[in-house]
Amino acid sequence: MSKTTYELENYVKQTRRDIVRMVHGVQSGHPGGSLGCTEFLTVLYQNVMRNNPTSFDISGKDEDVFYLSNGHISPVFYSVLAHSGHFPIEELATFRKINTRLQGHPTTHEGLPGVRIASGSLGQGLSVACGTAQAKKLDGEDKLVYVLMGDGELQEGQVWEAVMYASHNKLDNIIATVDVNGRQIDGDTKDIMGFADLKSKFEAFNWNVIYMDGNNLNDVQDTLSKAGVLSGSGKPICILMNTEMGNGVDFMMGSHKWHGIAPNHDQLAEALRQNPSAVGDY
């Protein structure tokens, strides 16, 4: 059953808490991009995807599937997977620790439910999505393949190979979201390797392109619904999702600096104060 906006807001706050606690707990990980994508992944897993989290099947047969291409935002992915029923939320406490299934970057190696492919080395997820989308078409399925990439990740050439392949083969069952936060490790994307106009780039490759405010729950819900309607129209769908890196924790916003560093004890306390728990901590 669909969650209300109020319920979604509580999940978002809870996932923000999980992210900063997980990263603080091992003093490593990537909180900035994770926080920026919290609303999107929460809505996707709580309200949009047609899947079966409690009996996870890696093949995703007759289900919607999601691939996280920018695997470094594993904290948000793990939190959302846990809160959508893929595995117990207590397991979040093992993030990045020895013998964990919650590796620094997601992997199938340890058999964590919800993960179908390893990611971390950037630029590969859209290709994997193309393969699964192709298989679903071959099998006559009408389910969708979602994939999330970072905007910095678009600097990888493989992404554009896949962009070309998807439109040439009319993979209109792919909904690819780009997290346009404008930041990457070394600074702002416009300074490191600017893209000029992403919308016209994807449109030139014959994709349907729509914008989304990734930090506005209602807009995320509406845009994902719209993307679903656009599927099947002969073109793959790209959602350019504007987000703020570090969203929801004020001192992590407005800079690339929190891409991959952990908060200290006082910073953790402040981040948690800004996001009171309504669902329950791990």
Partner 1 sequence: MTTLTTMEKKDTRSGFGDGLYEVAKKNDKVVGLCADLTGSLKMNKFQDEFPERFFQMGIAEANMIGTAAGLAISGKIPYTGTFANFSTGRVYDQIRQSIAYSHKNVKICASHAGLTLGEDGATHQILEDIGLMKMLPGMTVINPCDYSQTKAATIEIADHEGPVYLRFGRPKWPIFTTDMEFTIGKALHMREGTDVTIFATGHLVWNSLEAAKALAEQGISAEVINIHTIKPLDNKAILDAVANTKCAVTAEEHQMNGGLGDSICQLLARNTPLPVEMVAVNDSFGESGTPMELLEKYGLGVKDVIAAAKRAVSRK
Looking at residues 134 to 153 of the shown chain, list those that interact with partner 1 (rule: CB under 8 A): 134-136, 138-139
279 is a contact residue toward partner 1 (CB under 8 A):
no
Q: How far apart are CA 277 and CA 244, in angstroms?
A: 22
Q: Where are the alpha helices (DSSP H) in 139-197?
A: 157-168, 189-193
- Determine contact, residues 42/80, Cβ cutoff 8 Å: yes
Taking the complex as a whole, how short is the minimal distance between the CB of residue 33 and partner 1, in angstroms? 19
Pairing between β-strand 183-184 and β-strand 208-213 as defined by DSSP bridges: unpaired
**Nearest CB to partner 1, comparing residues 106 and 263:** 106
CA atoms within 13 A on the CB side of 249: 34
Backbone angles phi, psi at 242, to 5 degrees: -75, 130
Q: Of 128, 14, 146, 129, which is closest to residue 78 (Cα–Cα)?
A: 14
Q: Which of 52, 59, 218, 277 binds partner 1 (CB under 8 A)?
A: 59
Q: Draw the binding track, 97-136, toward partner 1 (x: CB under 8 A; -: no contact).
A: ----------xxx------xxxxxx-xxxxxxxxxxxxxx
**Nearest CB to partner 1, comparing residues 89 and 117:** 117
Length of the chain: 282
Q: Which of 60, 214, 236, 246 binds partner 1 (CB under 8 A)?
A: 60
Q: CB atoms < 10 A from the CB of 48, how many?
A: 21
204 is a contact residue toward partner 1 (CB under 8 A):
no
CA atoms within 13 A on the CB side of 132: 26
162 is a contact residue toward partner 1 (CB under 8 A):
yes
**Nearest CB to partner 1, comparing residues 169 and 216:** 169
**Nearest CB to partner 1, comparing residues 164 and 185:** 164
158 is a contact residue toward partner 1 (CB under 8 A):
yes
Taking the complex as a whole, how short is the minimal distance between the CB of residue 19 and partner 1, in angstroms? 24
Q: How far apart are CA 210 and CA 191, in angstroms?
A: 24
Q: Of 250, 212, 213, which is closest to residue 35 (Cα–Cα)?
A: 250
Q: Draw the binding track, 63-92, toward partner 1 (x: CB under 8 A; -: no contact).
A: --x-x-------------------------
State the residues that interact with partner 1 by CB under 8 A. Answer: 58-61, 65, 67, 107-109, 116-121, 123-136, 138-139, 157-158, 161-162, 164-165, 168-169
